[in-house]
Amino acid sequence: MSGGHYEYKYAQLSMLADDIEVDFLEDGDYIPEYSEDKEVLNHLDDIDLTEVQKDELLYEIKKIIKELRILSEKTRDLEWMMSGDISPKTLYDRLQKYKSKK
């Protein structure tokens, strides 16, 4: 497959999903690069958030990751159609599969 009609920008969506996922692999826990004592911090630490809100926020972030990956796949397929690598019917069929996954 050659693709390229949209300059492979769908890959940026996939890379963004990967980057976000890395930040939340341990539910947001991380050790800052500059930390000498290796103290574990959390991206979701906020005195204004309850534990329930943190859990809900983490759930939504994980949902964003999944949605970005799906959108990356859909836009890749669209790019392939626009580049002549797959037919409009193939794109249609592939997009229909996502409807059944909901």
Residue span of the structural domain in which 75 resides: 10-101
CB 66 within 8 A of CB 94: no
Residue 55 lies in a domain: yes
Determine, yes or no, domain membership for 1: no
Kindly state whether residue 2 falls inside one of the protein's structural domains.
no
- Which residue did the predictor score with more confidence, 92 or 26? 92
Residue 4 within any structural domain of the chain: no
Residue 61 maps to a domain:
yes
Task: Give me the number of domains the chain comprises.
Answer: 1
The candidate with the shortest Cα–Cα distance to 81, out of 63, 64, 93, is 93
pLDDT at 94 over 70: yes
5 lies in a domain?
no
Which percentage of the chain shows pLDDT scores above 70?
96
pLDDT category of residue 102 using cuts at 50, 70 and 90: low
